[in-house]
Amino acid sequence: MIDLILNYLQTSNILTISVLMLLSIYFILIFWVFIYKIISLNSSITTEKNNLDSLLLGESKISDLNIIPNTISSNPITKELLEVSEISLVREASSGLSILSIVSSTAPFIGLFGTVVGILESFAAFSTTSKVSFSVIAPVISEALVATAAGIFVAIFAYSFHQLILRKVYTLNTYLKSQINIIISRV
């Protein structure tokens, strides 16, 4: 398998290798964003769930770990300040989603670009020969299609990670809204 990959890279042109390198950077980037965001969101969701449970049990003191009062600690608690705090927290929690969205929408096109260039170069090389058969063209085109496959592969992960993080942000927002409603009802 490694020999096949090394052979492919040795026979590929600089543009195809560049496309695969860019897609590799995309792949590393989306995994880094996903791991970072999922860990921080899971921590925030756990904290806010526990704080909501405390509020539902009727505790009057809001936990120091609660991120809503910590964002407005210097002001008296009002509905408007709580809503602004919620918006700010959701915006912060959803950072990184745009990167995943951009990667999921551009990666297939980057891969397709590499494929088109690879096919164009192979046709240019075939123009010097008088007789070309399918058995000569098929391997070259299949090698060119690797870039498209790589682009789609990266896009699948980016889109899946985008949806998973979006769902976590929604869950966090639900806990925040519930806490705000309870806090407002007590003020």
- Mind listing the pLDDT tens digit for each residue in 94-141? 998 999 999 999 999 999 998 898 888 888 877 777 777 777 777 778
pTM of structure: 0.82
| Residues ≥6 apart with Cβ < 8 Å to 154 | 23, 26, 27, 30, 103, 107, 111
92-127 in b/e burial notation, b at 16+ Cβ within 10 A? Answer: ebbebbebbeebbebbbebbbbbbebbbebbeeeee
The structural domains of the chain, with segments of one domain joined by +, span 2-186
Comparing CA positions, the residue from 113, 151, 117 lying closest to residue 26 is 151
Comparing CA positions, the residue from 34, 48, 15, 29 lying closest to residue 116 is 15
Q: In whole angstroms, give the CA distance from residue 48 to residue 43.
A: 9
Q: In whole angstroms, give the CA distance from residue 72 to residue 79.
A: 11
pLDDT of residue 70: 56
Stretch 37-45: mean pLDDT, rounded?
Answer: 93
Stretch 32-46: mean pLDDT, rounded?
Answer: 94
pLDDT digits (tens, 9 = 90+) for 80-98: 888 888 888 889 999 989 9
Examine the pLDDT at 73 and tell me if it is beyond 70: no
> Amino acid letter at 29?
L
pLDDT of residue 68: 61
Mean residue pLDDT across the chain: 84
Examine the pLDDT at 64 and tell me if it is beyond 60: no
Q: In whole angstroms, give the CA distance from residue 167 to residue 42.
A: 11
Q: In whole angstroms, give the CA distance from residue 139 to residue 87.
A: 54
| 136, two tokens | 């000569």
Percent of the chain with pLDDT over 90: 40
Q: Which of 41-50, 80-89, 149-158 has the lowest mean pLDDT?
A: 80-89
